[in-house]
Amino acid sequence: MKIIYNIWILFFLSFVSISSGANDFELSISDIAITGNNLDVKLKLRRTSTNWTSLGSSNFVIKYNQNISNPTLISAHNFSGANYDNINLKNISVATEQALSINIHLFVPDAGTNLVLNEWVDIVTIRFTIDNPNALSLLEFDYERTTIWDHSQTVEMDKSSGSMESRSIYPTASIIAKLKVFLEGPYNTSTHEMNTLLNIQSYIPPCSPYAEDARTVASIPANIVDWGLLELRETASGPAVMSKSVFLRKDGYLVGDDGTTTDLSLNAPVGNYYVVIKHRNHLAVMSANAITLNSTLATLYDFATGEGQYYGSLAILLESGVYGMLSGDITGDGAIVFSAELTEIRADNLAAGYYGSDLNLDGAVVFSAELTTVRKNNLNGSALLN
């Protein structure tokens, strides 16, 4: 499939050290948003040592390539009034490459004079112009250096002390999907829905357990069963081109952070995709075929209606006419193997909370109940090809 609107953002998450050898702060990209030809980049900062407390006049330099231009300051975050003087942007040249110098003056938090240790704080949002948003392009954000002033000392940071991360975004985030799937573990044949006992007991963490999209929400909405991970693939055996943490609602719908939105906005171009659903202790599943996803109309893909909805027909009958994902993959390796799962259950037996060994998601690991599930589903493996 030809991918248009594919933009890779590469940036350096960098650290600084002074004589103590400890990392003193980290700089990263907090958020990226694209609207038309505008690329908005939000930067965040975290103080990671006690060697300094508040920002005085400081300077950050970020190199960027020829595919974007015209950086302008959109807003300064968390800084104002007597604690904030100004922020200046200036285009400069670093080794013949264009770069952006961000000069910050008298920059300390609104809430007080010090930056809280180990807490991220958004500092600025900068808008760039994308020169050609309709063409395949590579946008490189290359961390260059930083100078921090903390009253009596100047601390310098350069890119050699950091590591590189990448993310892929699209100018029109644009496709939407509507999906429904049931988990075997919490499914209740009396209500024809899934139980929400983890939620009722406040065991679901606000941060998604999936590293592919470890987002954090302010609170867990009502009627949510657990976190899940949604992935899109261009081919059945190909890698994920998009991963998104979502909530599994008790009626089976995958929903957004508000717990009600069933039309999920996905960061990928219009096209045909295999849809993958993952859960931390159920076997991952994939749509039987690639489905068409566009930016205007979300057609429901309901895994629950039959085995034929699942790639490889890997599903379990929950009740007449209702199919779901198999419970028991505690280790998360794509297979339910009695000896491996038993080891996990024994280790967590009688524990209460958010545990992978809690296969019915009721908030408690009960040896006999979990063992029954593993025995029943033993030697099943995910139909995913990777």
Establish if 385 belongs to a structural domain.
no
Q: Which of 146, 169, 192 is the last residue of a domain?
A: 169
Query: Which pair of tokens denotes residue 380?
Result: 């099943």
pLDDT over 80 at 220, yes or no: yes
Residue pLDDT, tens place only, 180-189: 999 999 999 9
Q: Indicate the pLDDT class of residue 364, thresholds 50, 70 and 90.
A: very high
Q: Is the pLDDT of residue 288 over 70?
A: yes
pTM of the model: 0.61
Same domain, 91 and 23: yes
Please state the length of the chain. 386
Q: Which of 146-150, 153-157, 276-280, 357-361 has the lowest mean pLDDT?
A: 153-157
Domain that holds residue 205: 175-377
- Predicted local distance difference test score (pLDDT) of residue 21: 35
- What distances in angstroms separate CA 46 from CA 97, 122, 152, 299, 364, one per listed residue? 27, 9, 20, 42, 36
Asked whether residue 126 falls in the same domain as residue 226, the answer is no
113: CATH: 2.60.40.680
- The helix/strand/coil state of 191 is coil
Mean pLDDT, to the nearest integer, of 374-383?
Answer: 91
Closest of 237, 210, 187, 221 to residue 382, by C-alpha: 237
Task: Say how far apart CA 371 and CA 356 lie, in whole Å.
Answer: 13
Task: Give SS3 for 368.
Answer: helix
Nearest to 147 by CA among 50, 11, 20, 27: 27
Among residues 213, 201, 320, 269, the alpha carbon closest in space to that of 5 is found at 269
Q: State the Cα torsion 267-308-358-195 to the nearest 10°.
A: 80
pLDDT computed for residue 75 by the predictor: 77
Write the CA distances from 195 to 8, 120, 192, 200, integer angstroms: 40, 35, 10, 9
Domains of the chain: total = 2
Give the three-state DSSP class for 311: helix
Q: Are 27 and 60 in contact (CB under 8 A)?
A: yes
**For residues 216 and 325, what is the distance between their CA atoms, to the nearest angstrom?**
25
Q: For residues 363 and 284, state if they share a domain.
A: yes
Say whether 213 sits in a helix, a strand or coil: helix
Per-residue pLDDT for 214 more than 60? yes
